[in-house]
């Protein structure tokens, strides 16, 4: 393997690890605005990974995905979420289903699990960035866990977006990006989901005087 | 080509038109004529598919074969009857002041976007586009479920948005894994997610990657189908959504979600063997069936009752697909059609009852036979059909699935429990066990279902309640569906039979 690709592969791995670190920081964070900032930071790393992969492989369309990531996930969505936080006047997550230390331990376990799961399929990839697949899976699982562990509507949305970032890392790093039409569609869906959450939390606030989803208990068996 | 264009462009045009029209009557006319145009286009498309086998058009973006055409037929048929039912239902809601007249435009806009997303998911050639469209249905229907803006409906809408988005994000990882397995086999990367391209090389894809991918896809799309244990959003959403929306969610959206699962199953079956996906589907199917039967027993809300019946029937269809073979797959597909019809009928009737009695509690509804005779007859038909009684068509498809299970010789004769215990069970014992479990919970379900519905139909109406039922346009689809449920129980028209047989051939891997 030429030195440049070897170095490139290591750089991609480094970026992926930075994404993973952001996940841990989100799990450890109680301030909602910091969670949103960390998500934006994670998206910056995602865009950097995508640009790096585009540069190393010469697949031009990945630059486009990187640019869209910057616009939608670094600028637009965090802005929507910050507006929601400001309007609803909630700054701290006071109710958590799982406390921070336990949450971090679980996330560590999730990372191990995802390396274990992807172990048999990683050598199949011939791409220089295939190792990122395990990290991508870990990010998806941690995003999933965040949604279960937190109760505020905003953090649940951040969890969803983190999952989406994980999937994108998997798509870009392990398989050089999905076909352009699919990526555009996914970006569109994520953006609309963000807008819907923005409108929806407003209505929840009107109806329940709270965006703590644990007050959503009218419906049960 | 024109049927494809009409099917895709129709809902978009109608949705945009709805935004600028503000007269209720005109909105209904636009809605109904769009659905009529879609139904005509679908009929033309079916003719083409029956003649040519499959159609690939708009570059390689659209792919329609017998399987997708069959699902499209369900979408347009239920959509058409919904558009008629909505005519009387929505006007009534506006007249009562439940929703403001100007919000009707928004309702129809969202409804058409929902329709567009479902048609898109069914016709898309790429597994990725299919995912985008299915997530689109979640986004379009969130506000539809919460349309009445009561606290409960807002809660149901939020739960639906979060659970389905999360579920489906897992499915996207499954799609990425499928892509990962296909890029090194296919030279043209931009086509690496296309169903046509993947099917051609499916036996070269790596089994390990596809196994992992299928598990993600099953959990993800299974959330949308409402399989236990990913079903928790479903009863809330169905109970709180306006009746025609609940009918679309239960009758059509579940069917489309099953379709996306089947597309992955075909690939996995070719790469590995049908046993892997079959066992998973049977497990989830049986679990859904059993859990739903138990929850039916304790329901006090008739819309939730129908919601749990949806989970049960999807479980049944999953068992059919899991067992596979011609009989199982045919039964599963036919059951999707029958379930869509019966469930649309059930929710139409539930809407009628809700408007009259103003309650969703079964205890609050008495003496339907006297106060609303047509609705009472229709709910009896819906109840009997959903409980699997002859002569209604779900009985036929259920019988097909059960006999397929009984006739199945499962490939493996040992069941691993944990790592160290291996139970040696003969093939016959295992399929007989499934049949026995199935039948006994079927009886539980039948009892619970008929008991609850009987309570609503018979007895004396509450004092002072309105008597008699006047004929509205909403009664037309009710009557037509009752006719279809009985008719399909006795004979299967030739075009449907051929289409179903072809669709089975798409799914079954030999």
Which tokens hold the place of B352? 């009628």
Q: Which of the residue ranges A79-93, B60-74, B172-186, B233-247 would you say has the lowest mean pLDDT?
A: A79-93
For B203, which DSSP code? G
CA gap B459, B369 in Å, rounded: 8
Residue B501 has pLDDT above 80, yes or no: yes
Percent of chain B with pLDDT over 70: 96
Mean pLDDT in residue range B261-269: 93
Mean pLDDT in residue range B425-445: 79
What pLDDT is attached to residue B481? 94
- Of the candidates B235, B232, B236, which has an alpha carbon nearest to the alpha carbon of residue B223? B232
What pLDDT is attached to residue B422? 46
3-state secondary structure chain A: CCHHHHHHHHHHHHHHHHHHHHHHHHHHCCEHHHHHHHHHHHHHHHHHHHHHHHHHHCCCHHHHHHHHHHHHHHHHHHHHHHHHHHHHCCCECCCECCCHHHHHHHHHHHHHHHHHHHCCCHHHCCCCCCCHHHHHHHHHHHHHHHHHHECEHHHHHHHHHHHHHHHHHHHHHHHCCCCHHHHHHHHHHHHHHHHHHHHHHHHHHHHHCCCEHHHCCCCCC
Are B220 and B169 contacting, i.e. CB atoms less than 8 angstroms apart?
A: yes
Which of A59, A147, A158, A167 is the best mutation test for B, with the most CBs of B within 10 A? Answer: A167
What pLDDT is attached to residue B437? 84
What pLDDT is attached to residue B367? 85
Digit-coded pLDDT (tens) for B61-116: 899 999 999 999 999 999 999 999 999 999 889 988 888 888 899 999 999 999 99
Nearest beta carbon to residue B172 from set A167, A174, A221? A167
CA gap B201, B263 in Å, rounded: 14
Q: Which of the residue ranges A38-42, B249-253, B427-431 would you say has the lowest mean pLDDT?
A: B427-431
Count of Cβ atoms closer than 10 Å to residue B31 Cβ: 26
ipTM value for the complex = 0.91
- Of the candidates A8, A50, A77, which has an alpha carbon nearest to the alpha carbon of residue A176? A50
Which tokens hold the place of A191? 């953006």
CA gap A199, A56 in Å, rounded: 40
Phi, psi at residue B423, to the nearest 5°? -90, 130
Which tokens hold the place of B298? 């304790």
**Which residues 378-437 in chain B show a CB within 8 A of chain A?**
none
CA gap A146, A150 in Å, rounded: 6
Sequence-separated (6 or more) residues with CB below 8 Å from residue A37: A78
| pTM of the complete model | 0.92
Q: Which of the four pLDDT bands, split at 50, 70 and 90, describes residue B421? A: very low
**Which residues 159-218 in chain B show a CB within 8 A of chain A?**
159, 161-162, 165-166, 169-170, 172-173, 176-177, 179-181, 183-184, 189-193, 206, 208-209, 212
Residue B439 has pLDDT above 50, yes or no: yes
Mean pLDDT in residue range B166-191: 86
Q: For residue B189, which residues of chain A lie inside 8 Å, CB to CB?
A: 176, 179
Sign of CA dihedral B258, B262, B265, B267: negative
In order along its 221 residues, chain A shows pLDDT tens digits of 455 567 888 888 899 999 999 999 999 988 888 999 999 999 999 999 999 888 888 888 889 999 999 999 999 999 999 988 888 777 776 677 788 899 999 999 999 999 998 888 777 655 666 678 889 999 999 999 998 888 788 888 899 999 999 999 988 877 777 888 888 999 999 999 999 988 888 888 777 766 666 666 666 55
Surface-to-core class of residue B307, CB atoms within 10 Å of its CB (0-12 exposed, 13-18 middle, 19+ buried): buried
- Of the candidates B263, B221, B253, B196, which has an alpha carbon nearest to the alpha carbon of residue B61? B196
What pLDDT is attached to residue B419? 44
Phi, psi at residue A212, to the nearest 5°? -80, 115
CA gap A70, A210 in Å, rounded: 31
CA gap B149, B142 in Å, rounded: 11
3-state secondary structure of B171: helix
């Amino acid at each position: 393997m030429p030195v440049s690709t070897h170095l490139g592969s290591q750089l991609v791995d480094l970026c992926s690890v930075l994404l993973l670190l952001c996940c841990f920081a989100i799990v450890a964070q109680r301030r909602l605005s910091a969670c949103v900032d960390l998500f934006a930071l994670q998206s910056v790393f995602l865009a950097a990974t995508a640009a790096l992969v585009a540069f190393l492989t010469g697949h031009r369309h990945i630059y486009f995905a990187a640019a869209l990531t910057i616009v939608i996930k670094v600028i637009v969505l965090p802005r929507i979420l910050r507006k929601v936080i400001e309007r609803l006047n909630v700054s701290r997550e006071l109710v958590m289903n799982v406390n921070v230390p336990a949450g971090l331990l679980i996330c560590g376990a999730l990372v191990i699990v995802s390396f274990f799961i992807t172990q048999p399929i990683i050598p199949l990839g011939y791409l220089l960035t295939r190792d990122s697949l395990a990290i991508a899976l870990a990010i998806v699982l941690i995003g999933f866990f965040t949604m279960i562990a937190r109760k505020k509507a905003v953090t649940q949305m951040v969890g969803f977006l983190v999952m989406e970032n994980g999937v994108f890392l998997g798509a870009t790093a392990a398989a050089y990006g999905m076909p352009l039409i699919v990526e555009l569609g996914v970006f569109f869906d994520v953006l609309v989901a963000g807008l819907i959450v923005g409108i929806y939390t407003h209505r929840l606030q009107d109806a329940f005087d709270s965006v703590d989803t644990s007050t959503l208990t009218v419906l049960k068996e | 080509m024109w049927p494809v264009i009409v099917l895709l462009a129709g809902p978009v045009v109608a949705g945009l038109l709805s935004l600028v029209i503000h007269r209720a009557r005109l909105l209904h006319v636009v809605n109904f004529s769009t659905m009529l145009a879609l139904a005509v286009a679908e009929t033309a498309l079916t003719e083409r598919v029956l003649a040519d086998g499959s159609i690939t058009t708009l570059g390689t973006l659209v792919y329609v074969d017998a399987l997708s055409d069959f699902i499209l037929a369900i979408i347009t048929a239920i959509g058409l009857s919904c558009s008629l039912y909505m005519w009387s239902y929505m006007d009534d809601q506006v007249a009562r002041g439940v929703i403001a007249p100007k919000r009707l435009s928004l309702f129809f806009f969202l409804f058409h976007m929902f329709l567009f997303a479902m048609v898109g998911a069914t016709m898309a050639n790429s597994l990725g586009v299919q995912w985008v469209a299915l997530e689109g249905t979640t986004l379009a229907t969130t506000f539809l479920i919460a349309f009445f803006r009561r606290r409960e409906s807002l809660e149901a809408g939020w739960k639906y948005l979060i659970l389905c988005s999360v579920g489906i994000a897992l499915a996207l990882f499954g799609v990425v894994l499928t892509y990962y397995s296909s890029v090194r086999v296919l030279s043209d990367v931009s086509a690496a997610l296309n169903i046509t391209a993947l099917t051609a090389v499916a036996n070269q894809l790596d089994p390990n990657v596809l196994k992992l991918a299928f598990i993600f896809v099953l959990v993800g799309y299974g959330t949308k189908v409402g399989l236990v244990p990913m079903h928790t959003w479903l009863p809330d959403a169905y109970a709180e959504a306006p009746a025609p929306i609940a009918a679309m969610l239960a009758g059509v959206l579940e069917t489309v979600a099953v379709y996306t699962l089947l597309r992955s199953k075909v690939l996995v079956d070719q790469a590995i063997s049908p046993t892997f996906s079959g066992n998973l589907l049977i497990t989830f199917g049986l679990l859904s069936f059993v859990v739903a039967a138990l929850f039916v027993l304790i329901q006090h809300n008739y819309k939730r009752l129908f919601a749990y019946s949806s989970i049960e029937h999807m479980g049944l269809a999953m068992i059919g697909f899991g067992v596979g073979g011609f009989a199982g797959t045919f039964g599963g597909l036919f059951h999707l059609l029958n379930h869509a019809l019966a469930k649309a009928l059930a929710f139409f009737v539930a809407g009628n009852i809700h408007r009259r009695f103003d309650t969703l509690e079964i205890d609050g509804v008495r003496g339907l036979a006297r106060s609303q005779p047509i609705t009472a007859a229709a709910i009896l038909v819906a109840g009997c059909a959903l409980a699997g009684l002859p002569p209604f068509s779900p009985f036929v498809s259920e019988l097909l699935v059960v006999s397929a299970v009984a006739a199945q010789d499962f490939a493996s004769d040992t069941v691993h429990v944990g790592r160290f215990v291996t139970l040696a069970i003969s093939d016959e014992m295992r399929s007989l066990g499934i049949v026995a479990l199935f039948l006994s919970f079927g009886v539980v379900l039948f009892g619970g279902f008929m008991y609850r519905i009987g309570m609503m139909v018979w007895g004396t109406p509450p004092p002072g309640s309105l008597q008699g039922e006047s004929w509205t346009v909403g009664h037309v689809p009710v009557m037509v569906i009752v006719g279809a449920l009985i008719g399909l129980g006795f004979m299967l028209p030739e075009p449907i039979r051929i289409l179903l047989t072809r669709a089975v051939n798409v799914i079954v891997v030999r």
